[in-house]
Structure 1
Amino acid sequence: MKKLLAAIASFILIQHVSAQSVSIDKVPKPVQSAFYSQFPPATLKKWEIRKEGYIAVFKVDGRKHYAYYTADGKWVATETRVKRTRHLPEQVRAAWLNSGYAHWYVHNIRKLETAEGHSYVMHLNNGNTYDANKVDAYNQDHTLVLAHQPVLN
């Protein structure tokens, strides 16, 4: 499951970085139908296209989301930005604090929802680690994927 979530997270993040905006008339009807049935209260901002599928950029309750679909309209995932580590669910925050990366700089956090569940993807950096020439030669980036299953009462 962890490998699957990490693969999906990488796929989605790469997808969004290299996506191009496209007009709605270029988006297949099955993709549009899937989006509007899944997110009826959404305010669509734009569509983006990649060779692997489509990305709907939209807002719900003032929060920006990205929904990923295959060309035949199958939903892959939805990505939402998490502003701060304090906004993480307590279980996820505790896992991060115990991961060995708690002192690393957090570039960004994304909540990733898929059919298999949801997880939080944290992009981290170990900070400025300059060598003798003041070059950030020892800088390391890391992507931490923390699966989350809500506690059922």
Structure 2
Amino acid sequence: MKKILLFAVCLLISGLSYAQDITVSEVPPAVLNAFNKSFPKATRVEWERKGDLYNVEFDIARRDHELWLTSKGGIVKHKKELRSSELPAAVLNTLKQNYKGFRIDDVDRYEEGKKFFYKIELKKLLEEQKVIVDQNGKISNKIY
């Protein structure tokens, strides 16, 4: 029993050490400059260090954003909250064909390089599904 408890404590501590909240003063100037240049209207900014990447969560016009940057300020991935009305036609068509009777509950757009993926939460009565669809309307198994 003691071994199981010790193992659980070690897992908890290692999980906590993976992502660490940091202050703005701990963010390298190259990262901070890249962020401020790309998102000058950001509010409610919170920084974390996740492995070799800097993660920042923020709002713009009451929409959630999350950004992953390298230590040199390069943007690796950008997550942005969207309204369902902002989904591309190809994505909406895929949802209509494959998820009849479901309504769109929540949408996040992920940008990696020049590719866009949409993580969509769908609801129908007591059922809920999450689906990832690429910019061309293809259902993807890529998980974020």
Instruction: Determine the structure 1 residue equivalent to 2:134.
Output: 146
Higher percent of residues as strand: 2
Percent of pairs with identical residues:
23
TM-score by length of 1: 0.61
Higher relative contact order (CA 8 A, sep 6+): 1
Q: Secondary structure at the match of 1:143?
A: strand
Cα deviation 1:15-42 (Å, max 9, x = unaligned): xxx7442111221111111111111222
Aligned pairs for 1:1-153 within 5 A: 19-83=19-83, 85-98=84-97, 100-103=98-101, 108-123=106-121, 142-148=130-136
- Distance (Å, rounded) in 1 between the aligned partners of 2:40 and 2:93: 34
Q: What is the identity, as a one-letter code, of the residue corresponding to 1:32?
A: L
Q: What is the identity, as a one-letter code, of the residue corresponding to 2:49?
A: I
- Distance (Å, rounded) in 2 between the aligned partners of 1:126 and 1:63: 25
Contact 1:64 1:81 in 2 (8 A): yes
Q: Aligned pair count? A: 120
Q: Which runs of 5+ in 2 are unaligned?
A: 1-17, 138-144
User: What is the root-mean-square deviation in Å for CA atoms of aligned residues?
Assistant: 3.0
Distance 1:103 1:145, change over 3 A: same
TM-score by length of 2: 0.64
- Distance (Å, rounded) in 2 between the aligned partners of 1:125 and 1:50: 32
After superposing on structure 2, the runs of 4+ consecutive aligned residues of structure 1 that deviate more than 6 Å are none
Distance 1:65 1:127, change over 3 A: same
Cα deviation 1:121-143 (Å, max 9, x = unaligned): 224588868xxxxxxxxxx9653
